[in-house]
Amino acid sequence: MPIASYCLVALDCPDPAALAAFYQAVLGGEIAHDSDRWYELTVPGGARIAFQEAPGHRPPRWPDAGDGSQQAHLDFEVEDIERAQEQVLALGATALDLDDRGGERDFRVYADPAGHPFCLCRQ
């Protein structure tokens, strides 16, 4: 019997409303919030991601620059990685590791507008 059940992943950020809107544009779903410091996105299928205001937020560095780590990252499966890349970049993502091998790799790494790494992965 498990000790606990999954609830959500929470990401610290300077602007929870803006980051929730970014991920809603990427994943769909519904945003709710109890305060201006805490927003939750429930994506289709029921998983939740929360966004918590952290005034002194420093984004993780990718790849690790020797003085820190990614801390965590999110993976998203996509049918068309080229199209998904165009869309997330248009929403404000930053490419951290574009495919430099002629489109053969199965994933690409980006940072969301608050600097958290995430990957688009081929299905």
Domain range summary for the chain, segments of one domain joined by +? 1-56, 58-123
Check residue 105 and give its pLDDT.
Answer: 72
Check residue 74 and give its pLDDT.
Answer: 87
The CATH architecture to which 58-123 belongs is Roll (3.10)
Enter the CATH code of domain 1-56: 3.30.720.120
Higher pLDDT, residue 22 or 63: 22
For the entire predicted model, the pTM comes to 0.81
Q: Which residue, among 97, 111, 80, 91, has the nearest Cα to 26 in the 3D structure?
A: 91
Predicted confidence (pLDDT) at residue 117 exceeds the cutoff of 70: yes
Check residue 107 and give its pLDDT.
Answer: 86
Q: Is 80 left (phi over 0), alpha (psi -120 to 50) or beta?
A: beta
Mean pLDDT of the chain: 86
Check residue 65 and give its pLDDT.
Answer: 58
